[in-house]
Structure 1
């Protein structure tokens, strides 16, 4: 088995993974949560496959991508190496690209329209698989963000829950870049309330994922009940500074 990463890159990423995991433990303890209650997703957006490989060798069991065109070759490379991780699509998914990822993801975080869910359903049935999905909730109300407004979630769920080949597992949200201290946590707290209400509304056993929190705000997200955090910069470095060799 021949990997693409250097020992230097592996050490850097391993150190960062260890640091983030320790911070997660601290946040879980402060929140009074059980250790290990949070799933860490390493996000390799922009970074090449060797970063993802080094992440997996550093103990990451879950990896995420924003773009289909980056996800697919990494999934295929990992398959050829025999590396088993859970792949997450966390970025905006266009209907015309759904066909490329069916059967390749453990969880799609960004279902933001009923039409998109219908396409996922159709493709999943054709491939005889069930696709696990999260509904993207735009709780901050920012026009620049995709997702269902809070009042749109129940009507959407009523339609999606009946679709074959799709399993709804919870919500994903993104907080705004803070204009004042505590703004992100306010959004996470609101999302948690909505999530719990919808858990009762759906009655689904599969409704157990609350995906919120990134490098700049994941500790606040954990305090507000996040089960999955999406970490890129804190593990792999600043994307703006990445220079392909």
Structure 2
């Protein structure tokens, strides 16, 4: 059985190979280790291996991990990547450094208002529903720029880019086609925005295509930490 350290090395190697294939500098791609449902001891192993960037989907679980590692005086980069309930926005605003799932002005305003003055502005991404699935969160491509302008007016937030979770697809060319619209929009918007530098797309099954499409942050969980146990988890819902 591979250790978490070995898994991190293997995923990093895959990222580096994918970057070189398309002529990109691998240093421009951040690996987020998605640690949802995993115990703090697993994250400790990743930290011992030198990793610092982690993603959490569940608010209470994520907050507990952030608080635990704060007691150890470790500087880790915590990203919230799950759906946001209005009644849990304060916890996110007070504990996380990044949020990838902004798709409503209401939530953006709450996060901005609830961000403590003693903390730097919350770094946020707009989640885009690139596949048009009714069951999936995110704004349409056509709605992104209007929401971005609204977020720009919120002092507690800094808009850093875009995020998507496309419909699962095993064919490489179709993966590329799915990423293309968001990549094009990101490149268009970043030309006029100084802080706009993050395109969060790509998971284990479509990592190579995401990197070839310009992703600057890939979200990898199972390949690092192993299979997840969801038996005690309930998905957050919007309200």
Would the TM-score normalized by the shorter structure come out above 0.5?
Answer: yes
- Does 182-191 or 107-116 show the bigger shift? 182-191
Residue 127 and residue 93 in structure 1: after superposition, are their counterparts in 2 closer, same or farther (change >3 A)?
A: farther
**Alpha carbon RMSD of aligned pairs, Å?**
2.0
Q: Does residue 34 in structure 1 map to residue 36 in structure 2?
A: no
Q: C-alpha displacement at 1:182, in angstroms?
A: 2.9
The unaligned stretches of length 5 or more in structure 2 are 233-239
C-alpha distance in 2, partners of 1:126/1:237? 38
Q: Which of 108, 115, 122 is the matching residue for 1:117?
A: 108
Q: Does residue 130 in structure 1 map to residue 121 in structure 2?
A: yes
C-alpha distance in 2, partners of 1:80/1:59? 18
C-alpha distance in 1, partners of 2:230/2:146? 43
Per-residue deviation, residues 37-65 of structure 1 (Å, max 9, x unmatched) = 11000011111111111111122120110
Q: C-alpha displacement at 1:83, in angstroms?
A: 2.2
C-alpha distance in 2, partners of 1:72/1:194? 32
Task: Choose between structure 1 and 2 for higher RCO, CA contacts under 8 A separated by at least 6 residues.
Answer: 2
C-alpha distance in 1, partners of 2:231/2:76? 24
Q: Does residue 65 in structure 1 map to residue 66 in structure 2?
A: no
C-alpha distance in 2, partners of 1:224/1:74? 32
Q: C-alpha displacement at 1:126, in angstroms?
A: 5.8
Aligned length: 232
Q: Does residue 218 in structure 1 map to residue 207 in structure 2?
A: yes
Normalising by the residue count of structure 1, what TM-score does the alignment of the two structures yield? 0.89
Normalising by the residue count of structure 2, what TM-score does the alignment of the two structures yield? 0.91
Partner of 1:100: 91
Residue 138 and residue 37 in structure 1: after superposition, are their counterparts in 2 closer, same or farther (change >3 A)?
A: same
What is the SS of the residue equivalent to 2:223? helix
The unaligned stretches of length 5 or more in structure 1 are 1-7
Q: Does residue 233 in structure 1 map to residue 226 in structure 2?
A: no
Partner of 1:177: 168
Residue 229 and residue 198 in structure 1: after superposition, are their counterparts in 2 closer, same or farther (change >3 A)?
A: same
C-alpha distance in 1, partners of 2:171/2:5? 33
C-alpha distance in 2, partners of 1:216/1:57? 26
Q: Which of 135, 141, 153 is the matching residue for 1:162?
A: 153
